[in-house]
Amino acid sequence: MAVVEICAYSASDAIAAAAAGADRIELCRAPEADGLTPTRTALEQARAISVPVHPIVRPRPSFVATGVDETHLCESLAHVRDLGYPGAVVGVLDTTGSQPDWPLLERITGAAGDLALTFHRAFDHVADQDGALAGLAELGFARVLTSGRPGRAIDHLELLADLAESGRRRGVTVMAAGSIRSEHVPQLIASGITEVHASAGGSEGSMAIDEVSALVASAHSGDCSARD
């Protein structure tokens, strides 16, 4: 079995995905930017959804943060934490664009407190991914969202299998993402992936609920408890 996380671009889409059986929701906005921090209204509306919701905290469509971005990251993570969400999604690279910005990550994880943190698909661009998994584990990250390298997850099965095994050794879950469809899920599970992330073809208001249900049906073939 794999846990299914659905990317929702509005609170109403998040509610619909939860009703269709999603195990967890990533809440964001701006699909054209691959997901930015939700509005405060959406954060308020999604608080009571029946499955765990992890808002993304990303101020603009870049993986490299500025000083202004750091303020947004810290304040938004603190706001998400104070609203009672169980987790959040965040990720920053240094100016080379090839490794995590470790000093900044250390500062923003302090603002996150006890939130279960996911490092988002900035990870696809990291040169030393095995080393990055070790560093993220030390910082307390719960999971990494990745297709292995930019592109479709289904095209990087061998790399995802290696990353999943490395993550297990370090206590970090590797969650597969990247144009995942329900028919891809059995191959991903066979490679060792235990969590999958998909948008079900959705931009705001256009989520394919039938595909959410199909993803869940394809993924739920056993018992899995990692839903935080």
Residue 228, pLDDT score:
63
Residue 226 has pLDDT above 60, yes or no: no
d(CA 64, CA 66): 7
Q: Which residues lie closer than 8 Å to 92 by C-beta, 6 or more apart?
A: 63, 64, 65, 69, 73, 100, 101, 104, 105, 108, 122
Residues 161-203: pLDDT tens digits?
999 999 999 999 999 999 999 999 999 999 999 999 999 876 6
Residue 200, pLDDT score:
87
pTM attached to this predicted model: 0.95
Residue 225 has pLDDT above 80, yes or no: no
d(CA 149, CA 72): 27
Instruction: Indicate the pLDDT class of residue 221, thresholds 50, 70 and 90.
Output: confident
Residue 161, pLDDT score:
98
Strand order in the sheet with 173-176: 53-55, 24-27, 3-8, 195-198, 173-176, 143-146, 116-119, 87-90
Domains and CATH numbers, the chain: 3-219 (3.20.20.380)
Residues 63-91: pLDDT tens digits?
999 989 999 999 999 999 999 999 999 99
Residue 205, pLDDT score:
59
Higher pLDDT, 59 or 204: 59
